[in-house]
Amino acid sequence: MTRKNHIVREIKRYFFLFIGSILAAVGLEIFLIPNNIIDGGVVGISIISSYLTKWPLSLFIVVLNLPFLVMGYKQIGKTFVFSSMFSIVSLSVWVSVFHPIPGLTKDILLAAVFGGVVLGVGVGIIIRYGGSLDGTEMVAIMANKRTPFSVGETVMFFNIFILSSAGLVFGWDRAMYSLLAYFIAFKVIDVTIEGLDEAKAAIIVSENGEEIAEAITARLGRGVTFLEGKGGFSKGKKTILYSVVTRLEIAKLKSIIYDKDENAFVTINDVSDVMGGKHKKRAIH
C-alpha cells in the first residue's frame, strides 16, 4: 500500500469514528439520558456518576476510560487505543454540545427503542472502523487471554451489574427500560458491523455440481470453488461446491440449487469477514 493510499484510508477511518461518536451522543443525550435510561459499560457508570454528583457527563466519560486506555495501550495495541481515545474524546465533546437540547420524546418506550437504535448504529460504526467507546471491552479482551470467559461473557457480566445499579438510582422500571435499550443497541451494533449484506458461506454436495456452479456464477455473479470429497457411507467420490454469498441472496441461492438438484445436501454458515475474490460483485440478475 502506498503512503498516499494509507493516508486516505486513515482519514476515512477517523471520519467514520467521528460520525459514530456524534450518533452515539445523539442516542444518549436526545433519547436516553433525558428519560433516565442508561447504557452499559463505562458510559453507563458515567451517566450514574454524573447524575449523583451533578458533574458533567463528558468529564466522567473521559476520566473513567483513561485507566482502561492505559492498560489497553500496553496489551492490545496503540492503533486500537488511539482510535478509541479519539472516539471517546469526540463523544465527550458532542455529549456536551447536545446536553442543553431537550429530549425528543418523553415516552419512555420510544426513548428506549430509538435511543438504542441510534446509539447502536453509532457504536457499531466505531467498532467497524477499529475503535471503542467502552473501557470494559478492553478489560474483556485482556481477560479473555487469562480466563475461560469469552469477551462477550465478560462484557455481559459488567453490563448486568451496571444496569442493575441503575435500578437503585433511577428506579427498577428505568433499569428495565435500560436493559431493553441495551439489547436493542446490541443487536443494531451487530447489523451495523456486519452490514445488511452479511456474508454467508454455502457448502453444496450434489451430483450436478457443474450445473449449479454455472448457475450461481451466471445468476448471482459469485465465484464457486470445487473441492474433492468422499462419501462416508457410499465411499464414492463427491464434488463439493463452496461459495460465499450475502444474506440477501440466500433465498435465490436455494432456489438455484433446488432447480438443478432437489436432493443436493446444503449447509449455510455465517462468515465473519471476506477479502478478495468475486464476493463484492453484486447480483446481476
Spatial separation of the C-alpha atoms in residues 239 and 27, rounded to whole Å: 51
Neighbours of 235 (CB within 10 A): 7
Residue 190 has pLDDT above 60, yes or no: yes
Alpha-carbon distance values, 4 to 17, 120, 147 (Å): 20, 32, 42
Section 28-54 average pLDDT: 93
Q: 80 or 248: which carries more pLDDT confidence? A: 80
Domains of the chain: 3-194 (no CATH), 199-270 (3.30.70.120)
- Which of 191-200, 207-216, 276-285 has the lowest average pLDDT? 276-285
Is residue 8 within 8 A of residue 16, CB to CB? The reply is no
pLDDT at position 281: 46
**Beta carbons within 8 Å of 230's beta carbon, 6+ residues apart:** 236, 237, 238
Q: Which of 85, 92, 94 is nearest to 66 (CA)?
A: 85
Section 90-99 average pLDDT: 96
pLDDT at position 277: 61
Instruction: Say what the pTM is.
Output: 0.75
Question: pLDDT tens digits, residue range 210-261?
Answer: 999 999 998 888 889 998 877 777 767 778 999 998 877 888 899 899 888 8
Neighbours of 164 (CB within 10 A): 13
Confidence at 176, pLDDT banded by 50, 70, 90: very high
pLDDT at position 276: 63
